[in-house]
């Protein structure tokens, strides 16, 4: 059992949970993920590591209340424990040799961007961070990102905070201002990463994207997380989650990701009904 040492609310639908897991914390690196199981009969949930503290032996991850599994996980509070906690899984994000970088995060993808921004800052790189949200109420981790970035640009779709527009607008503006990046890292919704990749390609800039398709075992055995990269089948859990964005078939990945939408809605409604009964 792995104890929950801290649980925070970042916005109405996003929480941060910190788990005491010293052996995982000892090896964790930016870009890697863990798989957590709330209870013995719960589903396995792959979640990217958002923070790690080797001295305290803790791992933090951020989850959004969008489905039955995350809603079940959210039933647990500080002092309680999750049933299983496995990691670190996947490959770390390659950061060596980078001098100037743009990190682009969208929505909860911002949580995955945070350890990358922090590590780059510690390595002495110049880091320009761009984050995008639908509106002001959904913004997370602004202070943490600002303290680790040389420049932070916050974009909102409706202009309720920061600059109005998309992260692609911000990235293109920074490039047009004369910034030459060794690498762009894009982390967020598939459609966002697809168009950030298009901007990077337009200006002949290297881009790495973090892929998080449907995943079950996290070891490459189930095959659920397969995607096409450079015309070849890859598995996000063992070959990734980072890939060259210019080689990823985003349209195929988005199509596969939508296959279970109806089932996900059904399970969420079922969990909501159970929660309502518990409240009564």
Residue 29, both tokens: 């690196």
* pLDDT at res. 265: 47
Cα–Cα distance for residue pair 245/98, rounded to 1 Å? 17
Cα–Cα distance for residue pair 186/104, rounded to 1 Å? 5
Half-sphere exposure of 84 (CA within 13 A, CB side): 17
**pLDDT tens across 219-268, in order?**
778 878 888 999 999 998 899 899 999 999 999 888 876 655 554 544 44
Cα–Cα distance for residue pair 61/16, rounded to 1 Å? 6
Q: State the CATH class of domain 96-210.
A: alpha beta
Output phi, psi for 202, to 5 deg.
-60, -35
Give start-end residues of each CATH 2.40.30.10 domain in the chain.
2-89
Give the confidence band of 218 by pLDDT, cuts at 50, 70, 90: confident
Give the confidence band of 280 by pLDDT, cuts at 50, 70, 90: low
Give start-end residues of each CATH 3.40.50.80 domain in the chain.
96-210
- Domain 2-89: give its CATH architecture: Beta Barrel (2.40)
Nearest partner of 87 among 21, 1, 30, judged by Cα? 21
Which residues, at least 6 apart from 103, have a Cβ–Cβ distance to it below 8 Å?
Answer: 113, 116, 117, 120, 127, 128, 129, 130, 149, 184, 185, 187
Work out the average pLDDT over 151-170: 95
Cα–Cα distance for residue pair 213/92, rounded to 1 Å? 17
- Whether residue 237 contacts residue 90, with contact meaning beta carbons closer than 8 Å, is answered with yes
**pLDDT tens across 52-77, in order?**
999 999 999 999 988 788 899 999 99
């Amino acid at each position: 059992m792995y104890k929950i040492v801290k649980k925070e609310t970042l916005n109405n639908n996003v929480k941060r949970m910190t788990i005491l897991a010293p052996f995982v914390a000892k090896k964790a690196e930016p870009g890697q993920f863990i798989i957590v199981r709330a209870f013995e009969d719960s589903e396995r949930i792959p979640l990217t590591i958002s923070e790690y503290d080797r001295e305290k032996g803790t791992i933090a991850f951020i989850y959004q209340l969008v489905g039955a599994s995350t809603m079940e996980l959210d039933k647990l509070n500080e002092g309680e424990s999750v049933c299983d906690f496995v990691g670190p899984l996947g490959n770390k994000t390659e950061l060596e040799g980078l001098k100037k970088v743009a990190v682009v995060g969208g929505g909860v993808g911002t949580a995955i961007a945070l350890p990358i921004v922090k590590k780059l800052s510690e390595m002495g790189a110049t880091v320009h961070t761009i984050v995008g949200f639908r509106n002001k109420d959904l913004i997370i981790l602004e202070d943490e990102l600002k303290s680790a970035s040389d420049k932070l640009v916050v974009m909102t779709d409706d202009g309720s905070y920061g600059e109005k527009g998309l992260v692609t607008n911000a990235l293109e503006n920074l490039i047009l201002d004369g910034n030459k990046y060794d690498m762009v890292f894009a982390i967020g919704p598939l459609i966002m990463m697809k168009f950030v990749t298009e901007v990077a390609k337009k200006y002949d800039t290297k881009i790495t994207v973090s892929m998080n398709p449907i995943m079950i075992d996290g070891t490459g055995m189930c095959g659920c997380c397969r995607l096409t990269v450079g015309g070849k089948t890859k598995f996000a859990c063992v070959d990734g989650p980072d890939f060259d964005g210019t080689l990823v078939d985003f349209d195929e990945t988005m199509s596969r990701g939508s296959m279970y939408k109806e089932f996900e809605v059904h399970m969420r409604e079922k969990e909501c009904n159970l929660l309502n009964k518990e409240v009564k």
